[in-house]
Amino acid sequence: MNSSFDIYEMVTNLIIERLEAGVVPWQMPWKAEIGFPQNMVHKKAYRGFNFWLLLTVADKFGSPFFLTFNQIKELGGHVLKGEKGFPVVFWKLLDTEEKDGSIDHIPFLRYYTVFNLKQTEGIDESKVPATEAHDHVFDPIGNAEQLIEFWYDSPEIRLDQSHAFYSPTGDYVGMPNPRTFFRDEQYYSTLYHELVHSTGHINRTGRHEKLHDHKFGSQDYSQEELVAELGAAYLCYMTGIQNATIDNSAAYIKSWIGKFKEDKKMLLIASSQAQKAVDYILEHQVHPNQAASAALVDLVDQMAEAV
């Protein structure tokens, strides 16, 4: 087993390699036949960093299913010669009290290796769950608006501002007039970024209470920006507007590569916090009088069931 630092370095480098090669690890193959990357035995979708990493892996192999070496063996199969597995990371922040009485947050991290189903052979096909393409007619802009409209403790959104921002002290989001955006999808992507920021308020997830340095360019500032952009990218996919927003999102996150290299923990922590931010928004939706589109309902259900 490698040290924790080695694990951070390993998984961060996997993302950096993909970004520098022009591959966006969080580009979800939404209407593809494969669906969410998930553990085939437990039938639970991966979350956080594991979700982003395994998306491109699942797309490459054409199967959403992953198994550990022991799970493959228990199902009567084996790993094909020459195939290499992928790290799945499990971690949490442990609170430790310093000598001065302050609380430090120490990541406790473990990882193990999984293989895509297509990297194996010998597993009885009857043991492989069926997958279906997620394909239906829906209104992406309507879905994007619904997600905001039905979020019952959403901060106030003030339009006609000079720029987009979230005010922690006033707990409101400022946005330029929607008509000033070149595309409607860009408006929602920008709004999602600011709304993900707002989930850090003390009355929501409380994420901002752990940020000590809010200055532009600081470590805390950089990590919070990454959380907001990853969360916004996630919400764009959930509401079906990713095709018009992914390039801007990828370019924005790629600009943080230097920060990733400076701090190997940043990407893992930000991925986890972005997941929690999105979960919060999804878990605080009111039930509309008319059912939301099949796309949004299906995605909320799948995320609620994910581990």
Q: CB within 8 A of 149, min separation 6: which ones?
A: none
What pLDDT does residue 231 have? 87
Is a pLDDT exceeding 70 seen at residue 10? Answer: no
One-letter identity of residue 22: G
| Helix or strand (DSSP H, E) at 67 | strand 65-68
Q: What is the pLDDT of residue 39?
A: 92
Exposed (0-12), middle (13-18) or buried (19+): which is 142, by Cβ within 10 Å? Answer: middle
Question: Between 117 and 274, whose confidence is greater?
Answer: 117
- Indicate if the pLDDT at residue 107 is higher than 70: no
Say yes or no to pLDDT of 162 above 80.
yes
Q: Tell me 80's DSSP state.
A: P
Q: Name the most confidently modeled range: 65-74, 124-133, 290-299.
A: 65-74
Decide if pLDDT at 87 tops 90. Answer: no
> Two tokens at 176?
């330029």
- In this structure, of 8-17, 261-270, 280-289, the range with the lowest mean pLDDT score is 8-17
Domain ranges of the chain: 32-127, 140-305
What does the pLDDT average to over 108-114? Answer: 80
In this prediction, residue 280 carries a pLDDT of 93
| 134 pLDDT above the threshold of 70 | no
| Collapsed DSSP state (helix, strand, coil) of residue 31 | coil
Please, are residues 306 and 45 in contact by the beta-carbon 8 Å criterion? yes
pLDDT band per the 50, 70, 90 thresholds, residue 24? low
Nearest to 242 by CA among 163, 299, 172: 299
- Residue 71: phi, psi to the nearest 5? -65, -40
What mean pLDDT do residues 107-126 have?
Answer: 88
Check the CA dihedral 107-84-42-74 and report its sign.
negative
Q: Is the pLDDT of residue 78 over 70?
A: yes
pLDDT at 295: 41
Instruction: Write the pLDDT tens digit of every residue in 204-256.
Output: 999 988 776 555 455 667 788 889 988 888 888 778 787 666 666 666 667 76
Tokens of 103: 């609380």
- pLDDT at 67 (0 to 100): 96
Residue 151 has pLDDT above 90, yes or no: yes
* Residues 274 and 231: beta-carbon distance below 8 Å: yes
Q: What is the mean pLDDT of residues 15-19?
A: 65
d(CA 173, CA 192): 10
Instruction: Report percent pLDDT > 90 for the chain.
Output: 31
| 3-class secondary-structure state, position 191 | helix
Among the listed residues 237, 233, 247, the one whose alpha carbon sits nearest the alpha carbon of residue 140: 237
pLDDT value of residue 225: 87
Amino acid letter, residue 109: L
Whether the per-residue pLDDT at 112 is higher than 50: the answer is yes
